Structure 1
Amino acid sequence: MPSPSAWPNAKPTSPWAGPDAAPAATIDMRVARIALVSAVSVVMVTSCASGSPTVDGSATTVEPTTTSSSSTSSSIVAPITGDIIVSFPDPASVAAWNNVDDSVMGGVSASTTEWSDGALVFSGRLSTDNNGGFASILGPVDRTIGERSAGATSLAINAVGDGRTYLLQLRAGTSGNDRWISRFTPQLLGDELLSPVVLPISSFEPVDRFLRPTNTSQTLDPATIIQIGVYVLDGQVGEFQLALRSISAVR
């Protein structure tokens, strides 16, 4: 992961910019791989016999189907059929996302958000000093998210991570004040083929505004989702960076 000398004020122009950035040709290939993942998430693929998911807790990372021929191989991401509910086709699509960090309660964590190559880049530095310990981005309130998510059994996240585990928060419910969370760990940039992380709707747990578990027998109805947010917390101090390309509702 890039290590800017003046974090978080330094703003890379790409999720992979910085003194340790990969060569341009390598970056182009990796961006193409992420784009492939995003594309297949909304296209029905009819053959998936050899693909097998691996489950880590509540999140499922879909393994690519691989066929080999002598010293070369071609990989196809296991099929995902769904509607994209969040994407970032241009810089304007990131403008409505807001950073909310622990500075609101006296902490010193800080984050920034910018657009790069079709992705929202959420980066910064997490610190537990002064009783802090979180950084987050919150998308705009948008009731059409629920309309496009109705009937979904899972959410597929197309992202490049830094080895950290992030938390996806959904605001939902008839009042729009219910909150649900599920954790996910995106693949690293160096992986040969990037696969989406699939979070079953059943994996989302109800919490209050402070992310504390609540006692409720309700289950998340994806048709009522009105807002999406992403957090980094859990004592994962230091510089972080997540490039989020899209989230899809999977049926």
Structure 2
Amino acid sequence: MTDKNRSQWDLCRFLETLTYFEVFPVFNWVQKLIQGRPKENQTIPKGGRIMGVTLVAGATGGVGKRVVQRLAAQGNKVRCLVRDIDKARSILGNDVDLVVGDITKPETLTALVMANVSSIICCTSVRVQPVEGDTPDRAKYNQGVKFYQPEIVGDTPETVEYQGVKNLVTAAAKFLPPSGEKFIFDFTQPSEELKNIWGALDDVVMGGVSASNFQLIENAALFAGNVSTANSGGFASVRTKNFSPPIDLSGYTGVKLRVKGDGQRYKIFLRAESKWDGVGYSCSFDTVANSWIDITIPFADLIPVFRAKVVKDCPPIDPSEICSLQLMLSKFEYDGALNPKFSPGGFALQVESIKAYSQESLPQFVLISSAGVTRPGRPGINLAEEPPAVRLNDQLGGILTWKLKGEDSLRESGIPYTIIRPCALTEEAGGKELIVEQGDNIRGKISREDVAELCVKAIEEPKACNKTFEVKAGENNAKSIDWQQLFSQLQADK
């Protein structure tokens, strides 16, 4: 007897799916052999590169370049605000997104510069160079190495440390997204990476004939196609290639989707392992026909699923290791239950964005200031015991005074922030234990490497929000740092 619900299975599309997602590397090797070497500008999409941009100001400086390196190594999308493209390329390389701008010129901080920026790390500072005329006691602050009298070169402390920071803060207040949210995918900003990272994964992999695709349309992505129950099938989906490296969403509560659907119930899957056929953490969501709505899905509501069956005794998802995302329309819910809003045939789901969200505010602006900013002119201060920057504040154009005013402009803006006041910066290797205090009393030194690491950790940690603190290196190497505990010991600014 012939099964009336049987349709011809598309073997070619099955193989294309496995090849696209690199399920069997030999398929990809054969494909590359046939097609020849890929073009030089083709790259493997990285999940973090689709996420909201972190703008680094002062990216070519001693701390700034290290911040850029760390963000990029973690898969974050980084944009460097620079004055001189050629100079920046020689320092940062060719794989970094550079944009010309100058914080001392507010007209250069345009919508293009700030596009899709979700956080800012400001490492700018005036240039200080030594000239002859050393003071003898400065040597003790540089481990006995002779130091010369410092002198400001180029821009003044007022224009950079205060007015420039204020300009950047003003631009940030205009363009930053709501606090506690970070783009994973922003489909209003089309790019080649967005086109290349999503692919169809339909029931052809199990003999079905459903077919879907994922297109970038005006200000959104469109997941659309036809779902058929023929051949015991009944689902269509689109999935990302594995993110490399995985996306770290450990500072967030869940994901938020902005969608316009057709009234059917869809699913989202997040995976915390790179296996092709592993456990996916899923949640179903309903749409309203022809209406834009926000869908909020806490990580705690995700159900561990393997081939539409709930996996019992499975640990909760690890949000620090998100390897891929998937959207699906299926006739099934879980464990054989049917989707109550499923209808075979054509479907369409528009997606404007997928974000990570936090119930707590996250710092969106990290400012590197300096220890000692409140000490010039403070009653009872013995200048002979102070670091050079404090003792020479007046000779350096009031550099610490203007840094403090720059801090104040950030505090008054309403932007969630972290203000880091490092002690004397060195070129020593990082990895030391960190000593943090408040009240602007500590003295010491700290590696630029450790300050850069601190900046990167701060933008992902709610406990760092709206806090100002001083930091120096301890004597011992740090085996590991509990960043949440480090920030928790600090009092929020009032």
TM-score by length of 1: 0.62
Are residues 1:198 and 2:296 paired?
yes
Equivalent residue for 2:257, pick from 142, 157, 168: 157
Indicate conservation of the 8 Å contact 1:181/1:206, yes or no. Answer: yes
Q: d(CA) in 2 for partners of 1:161 and 1:94?
A: 21
Equivalent residue for 2:206, pick from 101, 105, 108: 105
Matches within 5 A, 1:74-85: 81-85=180-184
Which is higher, the Rg of structure 1 or of structure 2?
Answer: 2
Are residues 1:146 and 2:247 paired?
yes
Q: d(CA) in 2 for partners of 1:170 and 1:216?
A: 18
The equivalent of 1:172 in structure 2 is: 272
Q: d(CA) in 2 for partners of 1:159 and 1:144?
A: 27
Higher relative CO (Cα under 8 Å, sequence separation at least 6) belongs to 1
Indicate conservation of the 8 Å contact 1:201/1:220, yes or no. Answer: yes
Indicate conservation of the 8 Å contact 1:143/1:225, yes or no. Answer: no
**1:60-83: CA deviations, max 9, x gaps?**
xxxxxxxxxxxxxxxxxxx77311
Stretches (4+) displaced over 4 A: 173-177
Letter in 2 for 1:197: I
Provide structure 2 residue ranges, at least 5 long, that are not aligned to the other structure: 1-114, 120-177, 332-341, 359-494
Letter in 1 for 2:320: A
Letter in 2 for 1:97: W
Letter in 1 for 2:208: G
Q: d(CA) in 2 for partners of 1:139 and 1:222?
A: 16
Structure 2 CA distance for partners of 1:131 and 1:175, relative to 1, 3 Å: closer
Equivalent residue for 1:249, pick from 356, 360, 364: 356
Q: d(CA) in 2 for partners of 1:143 and 1:90?
A: 20
How big is the shift at 1:173? Answer: 4.7
2:310 alignment partner, SS class: coil
Indicate conservation of the 8 Å contact 1:142/1:227, yes or no. Answer: yes
Equivalent residue for 1:223, pick from 297, 320, 329: 320
How big is the shift at 1:165? Answer: 0.7
Structure 2 CA distance for partners of 1:145 and 1:186, relative to 1, 3 Å: farther
1:202 alignment partner, SS class: helix
Provide structure 1 residue ranges, at least 5 long, that are not aligned to the other structure: 1-38, 44-78
Structure with more helix by fraction: 2
2:208 alignment partner, SS class: coil
Indicate conservation of the 8 Å contact 1:85/1:249, yes or no. Answer: yes
Equivalent residue for 1:133, pick from 229, 234, 258: 234
Structure 2 CA distance for partners of 1:150 and 1:187, relative to 1, 3 Å: farther
The equivalent of 1:212 in structure 2 is: 309
How big is the shift at 1:167? Answer: 0.6
Letter in 2 for 1:133: G
Equivalent residue for 1:238, pick from 317, 333, 345: 345
Q: d(CA) in 2 for partners of 1:145 and 1:244?
A: 22
Q: d(CA) in 2 for partners of 1:80 and 1:141?
A: 28
The equivalent of 2:283 in structure 1 is: 182
Structure 2 CA distance for partners of 1:174 and 1:132, relative to 1, 3 Å: closer
Q: d(CA) in 2 for partners of 1:202 and 1:146?
A: 18
Q: RMSD over aligned Cα, in angstroms?
A: 2.6
Q: d(CA) in 1 for partners of 2:261 and 2:274?
A: 33
Letter in 2 for 1:101: D
Indicate conservation of the 8 Å contact 1:172/1:224, yes or no. Answer: yes
1:150 alignment partner, SS class: coil
Q: d(CA) in 2 for partners of 1:122 and 1:83?
A: 22
Letter in 1 for 2:211: A
Indicate conservation of the 8 Å contact 1:99/1:138, yes or no. Answer: yes
Indicate conservation of the 8 Å contact 1:174/1:224, yes or no. Answer: no
How big is the shift at 1:215? Answer: 1.4
How big is the shift at 1:145? Answer: 5.5
Structure 2 CA distance for partners of 1:80 and 1:182, relative to 1, 3 Å: farther
Q: d(CA) in 2 for partners of 1:241 and 1:175?
A: 28
